[in-house]
Each structure stands twice: as C-alpha cells, then as structure tokens.
Amino acid sequence: MDNLHEFKMVALDATQKSSERIMYYFQNLPKIETKIDKTPVTKADREAEKIIISTIKKAFPTHGFLGEEFGKDNEDAEFTWIIDPIDGTKNFIHGLSFFGTVLSLKYQGKIILGISNMPAIGELLYASAEEKTTLNGKPTHVSQIQKLEDSFVNFNPSKFDTPRFLNIVKTVDKRVTNMRGFGDTCGYHFVATGRSEVFFEMGPKAWDISAFQIIIKQAGGTYSNFEGDEYALGETSLATNGLLHEEMLKIIKNS
C-alpha cells in the first residue's frame, strides 16, 4: 500500500502528542468521573482522544474514527482509526505505570496498522501489514517457549465473576508456575515483546484489542478470540507466542 508510510508517520505523531498530555495528567491527576458502565474516566482520556482525532483528521479528512470516549465518526469510511486513548485507566488514576494508548487503522475490514504506546515506561510498539513489530524502533519478537508448564501466563481479572472465565483461569493455573493478572494493554504488550507467552481476557471492546491483532502477528505470535477467529474484535481475546495457541484454545474449549 503506497500510503502506509504516511499513515505511520501521522499515527506516530498523534500518539506522541497525546502521550505528552497523558503524562502531564499522570503527574497532575485530574478529577475522576464514572461512566454509565461504571468504569472510570478523566480529562486525560478525553483530551488524549481529541488530540489523536484532530491530528489524524487534519492529515486525512475523509477517514473515519471509532473511539472509546467519543464513539463513531464516519465509521463507514474506507479507512477507520480505532482508538483507546488510555487503556488501563484504573492503573493510571492510581499512579501505576501499566497503562497505554492503543491505536489502529482498519481498511476493508482488516487491521493494517497498530500502535501500543506505554508512555510511563517509555515503550512503543508498532506494526503494519508491511512491517514487522518494533519496540521503540527496534525489532521485537515473541518468545520461543514451547511448553505451557514453562510459560508465563497473564490474564485480565476483571471477569472473575464469569464462571467460564474462572474455570479457564483455574485450569491454566494448575499447569503453570508463573501466572499473573496483568490486564489491559500490558498483557498484550508483554506477549509481543517476549516477556510473557500467553494473555487472555473476556469482555474487551474493539478499541482495546484491534491494534494487537497485527502487533502480535507481526511479532511472530498468534491472536484470536476463544473460538480461534483471528479477525474477531470483541467479547473474547487470546494472544500467544503461537507455539502455545492451539493448546490454549483446547483448554478454553474444555473449560
């Protein structure tokens, strides 16, 4: 795609500008509000999303947007940007560094570009249909661990009240010695950078996970929902180093 490099440059610029605002509020926490779905939101979330949209819209006025804070804008456009300005707002408001901006570009139903930026720890992942995943501009890759028993597994604990999810967690926990509840952006981030072999969750929205479809894949891993669909965007999500994906799908199916 001829203009993919231009998309990349604008996306990185938008991400950098938004991260400056996010980090200001990370040091100067704004008022916390509660959305209808009981999740927290701050001025940082809204202002960061506005910055991303305005930066991209200035360069590509015909593009559409789907954001966590402001919803749909020309979503049926040929190109649609999907935005989560701060994934991990609960961590953010408690002064914990495990939060990030997730940005992706969808074209003809497929994600062609993805960014995961964790500004508080200084790490930015980028991948596209034409470029392998990089961490701060340098190549990164999933781990090569082949046994689940030797793996480091992460999950999002927000759905512990769901019996099926709890059964999956219990089953996996019996098989591994290293299991943690690092949810949100960092769960996928750790898989893409080889620090963890598996991350799974229930209940994510498109803006939570769309970028990781391509980031995980271009880092050598595998991404799908719990049924194995690599292009699903929501409800369930599984990211692995690829070597453990089928085994995890089997565990999930039988739980």
pLDDT averaged over 10-residue windows placed end to end, the chain, 255 residues: 93 98 93 82 94 98 95 91 95 94 95 98 98 98 97 90 90 93 91 98 94 98 96 92 98 93
Domain spans in the chain, listed from the N-terminal domain onward: 4-139, 148-254
Same CATH fold assignment for domains 4-139 and 148-254: no
Buried b (16+ CB within 10 A) or exposed e, 212-229: bbbbbbbbbbbbbbbeee
Q: What pLDDT shows up at residue 82?
A: 98
Binding-site residue numbers are: 68, 84, 86-87, 208
- pTM here is 0.95
Q: How far are the Cα atoms of 165, 169, 186, 202, 203 from residue 161, in angstroms, in the given order?
A: 8, 12, 22, 11, 12
Long-range (24+ apart) CB contacts under 8 A made by 248-254 are 248/148, 248/172, 248/198, 248/200, 249/224, 251/168, 251/171, 251/172, 251/175, 252/168, 252/200, 252/226, 253/226, 254/171
CATH superfamily, domain 4-139, is Fructose-1,6-Bisphosphatase, subunit A, domain 1 (3.30.540.10)
Binding-site residue numbers for Mg(2+) are: 68, 84, 86-87, 208
Q: What pLDDT shows up at residue 177?
A: 87
Residue closest to 129 by CA, chosen among 229, 4, 34, 28: 4
Q: What pLDDT shows up at residue 31?
A: 83
Classify domain 148-254 at the CATH class level. Answer: alpha beta
